Amino acid sequence: MTVIKINALTIPADTGDEIVARFEPAIGRLPDLEGFVRFQLLKPTDGSEQWFVLTEWADEEAYEGWKASRAFSRSHDSGGDRPAPVATGSQLLEFVPALSIGG
């Protein structure tokens, strides 16, 4: 069954461009992952600091496979020469579709 994972990030208003720039290199690899369906980085339109990272996977196993992958580790590692995280908070929200239409 399809699963949707939404990481709700608190992004200070003056760092929106930075979060987009940090996601751009990583998202190009997602379509190659087994069970990957969709990615969206959702920017608020109301001036709030709440951004959403939406990923959709064919099933829970595909999502867990991504979390266990080297690509996930590289994209979430903040050690070494990597810059400090932009987000000041995050919360993972997990869903399965109850109703759906369209692509």
Strand order in the sheet with 36-42: 36-42, 50-57, 3-10, 89-95
Distance CA 93, CA 12 (A): 20
Hey, where are the domains in the chain?
3-77+84-95
Distance CA 87, CA 51 (A): 9
**pLDDT of the residue at 103:** 72
Written out in words, the top-level CATH class of the domain with range 3-77+84-95 is: alpha beta
Percentage of the chain beyond pLDDT 90 is 66
At 72, the pLDDT band (50, 70, 90 cuts) reads: confident
Does the structure show a pLDDT above 80 at 55?
Answer: yes
Alpha helices in 1-103 (DSSP H): 16-27, 60-67, 70-76
CB 66 within 8 A of CB 57: yes
Range from 16-30, 32-46, 64-78 that averages highest in pLDDT: 32-46
The CA distances from residue 73 to 65, 70, 92, in Å, are: 12, 5, 17
